[in-house]
DNA sequence: GTCTATAGCGGGATAGAC
DNA sequence: GTCTATCCCGCTATAGAC
């Protein structure tokens, strides 16, 4: 059954993302992944040929998800403050639905920065979107309609405020004793509060 | 010579921090570390008994460094805005001098969140410092001297803005083509601009 | 497609000579 | 203290029965 096969593959990809994230590429064993996905070890190689190929598939999927959501939120011609809201909302929303992805991506950034960087650099629409956003900021600073800020730093700050809570989540939950429910509520609030914070920081 | 031994040990610890950070705990091999430190493989075990013990020593050292710098900057009775400046300045300054530590710590947070979390939870001075800071924010909100903000979110934002550029650094450098010098200059600027950004976001 | 068994290799740790 | 040689385990990947 083609459907059966596809659903088994998707199940493996889903749990493998989690195992790779929690243990790192080398730390995650094919035995771990097989056990978590409740399939035989040999089946993993039957479906995915190799550990590296399985990892690449997951990386590709994760990148595509982020890419599509962000292009939708960020690309159109909107006023600056609306873009800031749309960006943080899209980012936070995507990661609420896919909580393993931020740490998965950050592992990869740390251990193989060129991999993701090249995918971004080689992607013209992304680079244009970033340039347009920075130009928009520079123009508003020039026109005196927002406080003077470095446009790259503002982009960095927006990204930091949106992403950081997800990568720090495992520890924040332990230290401050958040339940899943409470931490989820915090993240929901941030879909609006991050943009409010950033806009307050730069508006006159 | 006791000094010779101590300096060899320190050299190993220094390069091992880098190798563990770049490759992760499992990905880093004792052979990698020996090669990078220019010592024989057997010497590593002679000095540190095991890979795990070497890792623990590095973790302990990294934690202590952050702990001491932050306690100095954050503990005294200062007005809120001064604390915000002192906090971000101390954090960023420490990581400029020790650029591998943020990613090292974040690897550990991802793969073993309870380890660092327990060290923080069990440390009364830290927890008191955090509580005091949050109270201070709540009181100012109550008194109407700053905009209404959730005190935990403000703490989280301050941390995010200070730390995120360091953990994203490897990729940011590749994507935006920063030289070490240019990225260093950006980080230097952030020693003051992060506090300014946060203060602008909450002041009336 | 699914399983068991195993080949083959890389890595942590140590024995033992110097 | 320093080195070489090696033990031994655990992992990826695959052969081959069903």
Note whether B176 contacts A: Cβ–Cβ < 8 A: yes
Residue A134 is predicted with a pLDDT of 96
What's the whole-number average pLDDT of chain A?
Answer: 96
Phi-psi region of B129 (alpha: psi -120 to 50; beta: other; left: phi over 0): alpha
Note whether A193 contacts B: Cβ–Cβ < 8 A: yes
Cβ contacts of B26 on chain A, cutoff 8 Å: 23-24, 26-27
More confident residue, B56 or A69: B56
pLDDT of B1 higher than 50: no
Contact A95, A191 (CB under 8 A): no
Reported in sequence order, the residue ranges of A14-130 that DSSP labels E, i.e. its strands, are none
The SS3 assignment for B50 reads coil
Q: DSSP alpha helices (H): ranges in chain B?
A: 2-27, 30-37, 41-48, 51-74, 80-97, 101-111, 113-121, 124-143, 151-176, 180-202
Encode burial over B191-201: b for 16+ CB neighbours within 10 A, e otherwise: bebbbbbbeeb
According to the 3-state scheme, what is the secondary structure of A122-185?
CCHHHHHHHHHHHHHHHHHHHHCCCCCCCHHHHHHHHHHHHHHHHHHHHHHHHHHCCCHHHHHH
The SS3 assignment for B123 reads coil
B75 confidence band (pLDDT: 50, 70, 90): confident
pLDDT of A1 higher than 60: no
Q: Poorest-confidence range of A52-66, B2-16, B102-116, B147-161?
A: B2-16
Note whether B189 contacts A: Cβ–Cβ < 8 A: yes
More confident residue, A102 or B6: A102
Task: Give the integer Cα–Cα distance in Å for B7 and B26.
Answer: 26
**In Å, how far from its chain's centre is CA B54?**
19
pLDDT of B2 higher than 60: no
B74 confidence band (pLDDT: 50, 70, 90): confident
Other C-beta atoms closer than 10 Å to the C-beta of A73 total 20
Instruction: Kindly report the nearest CA distance between residue B176 and chain A, in angstroms.
Output: 8
Residue A2 is predicted with a pLDDT of 54
Chain B's closest residue to A122, CA to CA, is: B175
Contact B138, B155 (CB under 8 A): no
Nucleotides of C strand lying within 7 Å of any protein CB atom: 1-5, 10-16
């Amino acid at each position: 059954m083609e459907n059966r096969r596809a659903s088994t593959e998707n199940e493996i990809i889903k749990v493998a993302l989690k195992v790779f994230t929690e243990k790192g590429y080398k730390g995650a064993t094919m035995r771990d992944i097989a056990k978590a996905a409740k399939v035989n070890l040999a089946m993993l190689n039957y479906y995915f040929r190799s550990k590296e190929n399985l990892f690449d598939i997951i990386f590709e999927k994760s990148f595509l998800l982020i890419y599509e959501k962000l292009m939708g939120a960020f690309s159109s011609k909107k006023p600056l403050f609306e873009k800031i809201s749309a960006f943080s909302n899209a980012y936070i929303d995507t990661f609420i639905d896919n909580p393993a992805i931020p740490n998965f991506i950050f592992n990869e950034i740390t251990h193989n920065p060129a991999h993701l960087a090249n995918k971004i650099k080689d992607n013209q629409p992304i680079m244009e979107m970033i340039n347009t956003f920075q130009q928009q900021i520079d123009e508003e600073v020039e026109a005196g309609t927002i406080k003077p800020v470095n446009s790259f730093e503002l982009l960095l700050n927006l990204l930091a405020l949106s992403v950081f809570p997800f990568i720090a989540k495992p520890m924040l939950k332990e230290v401050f004793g958040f339940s899943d429910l409470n931490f989820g509520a915090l993240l929901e609030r941030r879909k609006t509060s991050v943009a409010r914070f950033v806009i307050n920081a730069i508006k006159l």
